[in-house]
Amino acid sequence: MLEMRPHCECCGRDLPADAAGAWICSFECTFCDDCARERLHGTCPNCGGELLRRPTRAAALPRKYPASTQRRVRAEPCPPDAA
Ligand SMILES: [Zn+2]
Ligand SMILES: [Zn+2]
C-alpha cells in the first residue's frame, strides 16, 4: 500500500491523496507535477529512480486507509528551474 505522502518534497505544495498531479518514485519520494516535469525531468533527485504518476486514492477510503501526514522534506535543495 502506498504511503500517499501529503506534499511535494521540492516546493512543499500540498498533494492530497485524492487529487491527481502527484509523481512518485519506487521509494515514494513524492513531487508535484511542475517539479517532476520541469525541474527533475522525470528522475527522482533522491535515488535516481524513474518518477511515475501516483494513482489517486478514492476520497472515501482515507478513513480506513489514511494517507500519510508525515511531511518529509529533502535535506538538499532541489535543482533550480531549467530556464
Ligand atoms: Zn513541487
Ligand atoms: Zn526516490
| pLDDT tens-place string over residues 67-76 | 788 777 787 7
The residue with cell 501516483 is 54
CA atoms within 13 Å, Cβ hemisphere of 18: 8
pTM of the predicted structure, to 2 decimals:
0.79
- 3 Cα: distance to centroid of ligand 1 (angstroms): 18
Enumerate residues with CB within 5 Å of ligand 2 (an ion): 25, 27, 29, 44, 46-47, 49
* CATH code for residues 1-72: 3.30.40
Q: Where are the domains of the chain?
A: 1-72
Q: Average the pLDDT over 55-78 and give the result.
A: 77
Written as nine digits, the cell of 31 is 513531487
Which DSSP category does 62 fall into?
Answer: G
Q: Given this model, what pLDDT does residue 60 score?
A: 65
Ligand 2: centre distance to CA 60 (Å): 28
How crowded is residue 61: how many other Cβ atoms within 10 Å of its Cβ?
14
User: In angstroms, rounded to a whole number, what is the distance separating the alpha carbons of residues 72 and 59?
Assistant: 22
Confidence of residue 24 (pLDDT cuts 50, 70, 90): very high
Q: Give the distance (Å) from ligand 1 centre to CA of residue 58.
A: 22
